[in-house]
A and B are shown apart, each in its own frame.
Chain A
Amino acid sequence: MKKKQKRKSRKAEVRIPFPNMLAMVLVCVAASGLSYIWLCARCDTLGSEIKKLESERHNVRQRAINEQDRWSNMLAPANFERALKHHKLAMTLPSERQIVRVRRGSSERVLTLAYNQKGFMNADEL
């Protein structure tokens, strides 16, 4: 009796195979969707990274400009003189009497040498 019932139910089961094409399409759609979401997320991540770098570059540029400004201020002749005075450094440009000019070959180039305490520097010392 049981065997008969089993046979009947097997007969009643209609197996409709899932279409391969549809499965592939669905898989493709799902994959595309996932890729799209992944790409979007990646773009956003890269975007925020770029923005962060942009902001960093901006800050670095500003810092560089401010440092340039500070350096330039330090190199102002008046500040330089003040610093020399502060450190009690008496520095003056050599006077004409303290300079010896040596002509090199026949060209017009001249070399300027600072006066040395022992006397004028000799051209042979070059």
Chain B
Amino acid sequence: MNYKGRTILASVLMATVFAGLGVRLAFLHLKPSPETLVRIESGRHLEEETRGPRGRILDRNGNILAVDIAARHLCADPKFILENGDIQQVCEAIAGVVPLSRSEIWTLLDQPERQYVRIQKYMREKTLEQLKEMKLKGVILEETSMRNYPKGALGAHVIGFSNCEGVGGAGIEQRLNSYLQGTTGRKVSLKDGRRHEIYSRRTVDIEPQSGADIYLTIDQQVQHFAEKALDALVAKYQPQGAWAIVQNVRSGEILAMASWPAYNPNRYGSAPPEWMRNRTISYGYEPGSVMKAMIIASALDGGYVTPRDVFDCENGHWMYGGRALNDSHGEGLLSVADIIKKSSNIGAAKIALQMGNEKTYQSLKSFGFGARTGIDLPGEEGGILWTVKNWSKISITRLAMGHEINVTALQMLSALSAIANDGVRMRPYLVDKVVDAAGETVFKTLPGELGRPIRPETAKTMRRLLARVTQPGGTGTKAAVRGYPVAGKTGTAQKVRPKEEGGGYYDHKYFASFAGFLPVENPAISIIVVVDDPQGAHYGGSVCGPAFRIIADQTVRYLRISPQGFPTEYVSGLGPIVPEEKKSAEAGAL
């Protein structure tokens, strides 16, 4: 074939090829089949949904208690690794960073038919730094996020935990889940041949929004004081449980809420359910003599007795309604003031009898017993306060000494705080404010009043009477704080024996407690410490008094509470009560 012929042939061939391409192009663009369209679209279409991070949980000073952090799932492509013959190197590298043996990793990777295996979930970026540097082929580090609690077990029962799906499972995480959850972002776009997104083809771009931040009323330092005191107490008395609460008496804010046994929310899966129980709000117990404070306060308020009235305490043994009532230390004649100081059961019973069933019931109800306080935590119990028609003849005498009634520590503290707060019972709360991702405050909790069980004058008298409990001769001397007048009441109650075990009370199992507040004249904080079945000692004063003292001593110094008054800069709620004459003097000075 000559030159001309070859040229024509080449031209014809090229023209045919181009014509073919042109026809295919026209066919694809002008009249593609539905299957082709779907295939093309699915190959190019990109649709991503990203979950916004959960909001943070912070203490009252902005210390982070819970936060979503970046993490990775360590995954691999076994097929690729086996084909490239790198399995040994990969196994050795991975074995150094995950809690799996080399043989376990080998078994996972020795699956030539699989292209994806997950070796370890939720690994921290820092742990993987070394692995990243090695740039191992076939090893995939999938991006994810995980909930982390940087303070570990601190405040675990208040904070709670959130599960792998980002849903709160306990505590604040559960109660405020709707605020904490972020919104899901959405991206719709097209991919190029290398499976990279073509930004200019992005048609939907909704940014995921992180959830709102929750600021608690808890102070991490006060929480630490409470937990540390409980740890020391547990080490000494090996109880079945111990719990403590610190409250701002003026506003009702909870500054610390500790419960033992505790757990680390970072490893909530390995904690027994019983450890996760927030005993301060969900564990009802018979409070014992702490209840005398409320009974006597009501009797004083109703004018049934005065602090100087004297009762015969029968030298510690009294028969009433066919049943014996005993005092741990036999006393003869005691004034109302001394009945509190010496914690006489017989004296308290006689005072309650003066009030009568109905008045006693109403007064206990007005102190909040038998009803939930409404704290912003899930799982709160309301306790048990039987109505008068369910009472026996001796019920009133048992109620006066804190039996035949079931309360939570929070209820008891709330009632005692009412005495400290001039007779005003404040709603206890844990959430100070909720701030959304844009920095706007969604809501702020304002202190709320739950009732006024006693008059301010009665509260003042009661504060002075309760202050005698920690003074020499009282049952709570071990709770006294050096430099600060402390008011409080000890409580020791035998534990109720379940019906399955025959009912009644255990002979040698007790609930020991101490609830108090300070400074006496202008109370700032109230604290309750409860211990379930302490070993070696069982009196509230000797078991819980020292723990109370440790918490109170450290808290007043940390919060800069003076022995005379309130730390003005600390109170976010009501603030200190300033007497009228001082207010006017201040106004004049300004």
Interface set of A (CB-CB < 8 Å, partner B): 40, 43-44, 46-48, 50-51, 62-63, 65-66, 68-70, 72-73, 75-78, 93-97, 101, 105-110, 112
Cβ–Cβ contact B150 & A47, under 8 A:
no
CB distance from A76 to the nearest CB of B (A): 4
| Most B CB within 10 A of own CB, among A40, A47, A50, A96 | A96
Q: Give the complex CA separation of A73 and B63 in angstroms.
A: 10
Given A72-B67, A95-B557, 10 additional A-B pairs, CB 8 A: A44-B198, A44-B199, A62-B69, A68-B64, A72-B63, A75-B63, A96-B484, A97-B482, A108-B568, A112-B560
Q: Give the complex CA separation of A107 and B446 in angstroms.
A: 26
Tell me, yes or no, whether B582 is within 8 Å of chain A by CB.
Answer: yes
Q: Contacting A95 at CB < 8 Å: which of B198, B482, B558, B586? A: B482
Tell me, yes or no, whether B70 is within 8 Å of chain A by CB.
Answer: yes
A-B contact pairs, 15 of them (CB 8 A): A65-B69, A65-B70, A68-B67, A69-B64, A72-B151, A73-B150, A76-B150, A77-B154, A93-B558, A94-B557, A95-B557, A96-B557, A106-B585, A108-B578, A110-B562
Which residues of chain B from 549 to 584 have any CB-CB distance to chain A below 8 Å in the complex?
Answer: 554, 556-558, 560, 562-563, 565, 568, 576, 578, 582
Q: Give the complex CA separation of A112 and B570 in angstroms.
A: 14
Cβ–Cβ contact A48 & B586, under 8 A:
no
Q: Give the complex CA separation of A76 and B483 in angstroms.
A: 29
Q: Give the complex CA separation of A76 and B149 in angstroms.
A: 11
B residues within 8 A CB of A50? 199
Q: Give the complex CA separation of A112 and B559 in angstroms.
A: 11
A residues within 8 A CB of B224? 77-78
Tell me, yes or no, whether B200 is within 8 Å of chain A by CB.
Answer: yes
Q: Give the complex CA separation of A62 and B589 in angstroms.
A: 52
Tell me, yes or no, whether B248 is within 8 Å of chain A by CB.
Answer: no
Q: Give the complex CA separation of A62 and B128 in angstroms.
A: 15
B residues within 8 A CB of A62? 69-70, 125
Which residues of chain B from 172 to 210 have any CB-CB distance to chain A below 8 Å in the complex?
Answer: 197-200, 202
Q: Contacting A107 at CB < 8 Å: which of B151, B202, B483, B589? A: B589
Among residues of A, the one whose C-beta sits closest to the C-beta of B201 is A47
Q: How many residues of B contact A (CB 8 A)?
A: 41
Among residues of B, the one whose C-beta sits closest to the C-beta of A50 is B199
Q: Give the complex CA separation of A106 and B578 in angstroms.
A: 13
Q: Contacting B154 at CB < 8 Å: which of A48, A76, A108, A109? A: A76
Among residues of A, the one whose C-beta sits closest to the C-beta of B589 is A106
Q: Give the complex CA separation of A92 and B97 in angstroms.
A: 40
Interface set of B (CB-CB < 8 Å, partner A): 53, 63-64, 67-70, 125-126, 148, 150-152, 154, 197-200, 202, 220-221, 224, 482-484, 554, 556-558, 560, 562-563, 565, 568, 576, 578, 582, 585-586, 588-589
Q: Give the complex CA separation of A101 and B544 in angstroms.
A: 31
Cβ–Cβ contact B151 & A73, under 8 A:
yes
B residues within 8 A CB of A110? 562, 568
CB distance from A18 to the nearest CB of B (A): 28
Cβ–Cβ contact A107 & B586, under 8 A:
yes
Q: Contacting B150 at CB < 8 Å: which of A43, A69, A101, A109? A: A69
CB distance from A73 to the nearest CB of B (A): 4
B residues within 8 A CB of A51? 197, 199
| Most A CB within 10 A of own CB, among B197, B200, B556 | B200
Given known contacts A65-B69, A72-B63, A94-B557, A44 and B200 CB-to-CB distance under 8 angstroms: yes
B residues within 8 A CB of A66? 69-70, 125-126
Cβ–Cβ contact A65 & B589, under 8 A:
no
Cβ–Cβ contact B154 & A78, under 8 A:
yes
Cβ–Cβ contact B198 & A47, under 8 A:
yes
Q: Give the complex CA separation of A112 and B567 in angstroms.
A: 11
B residues within 8 A CB of A78? 151-152, 154, 224
B residues within 8 A CB of A68? 64, 67
B residues within 8 A CB of A47? 198-200, 202
Cβ–Cβ contact B220 & A76, under 8 A:
yes
Among residues of A, the one whose C-beta sits closest to the C-beta of B558 is A93
A residues within 8 A CB of B563? 96
Q: Give the complex CA separation of A110 and B565 in angstroms.
A: 11
A residues within 8 A CB of B69? 62, 65-66, 69
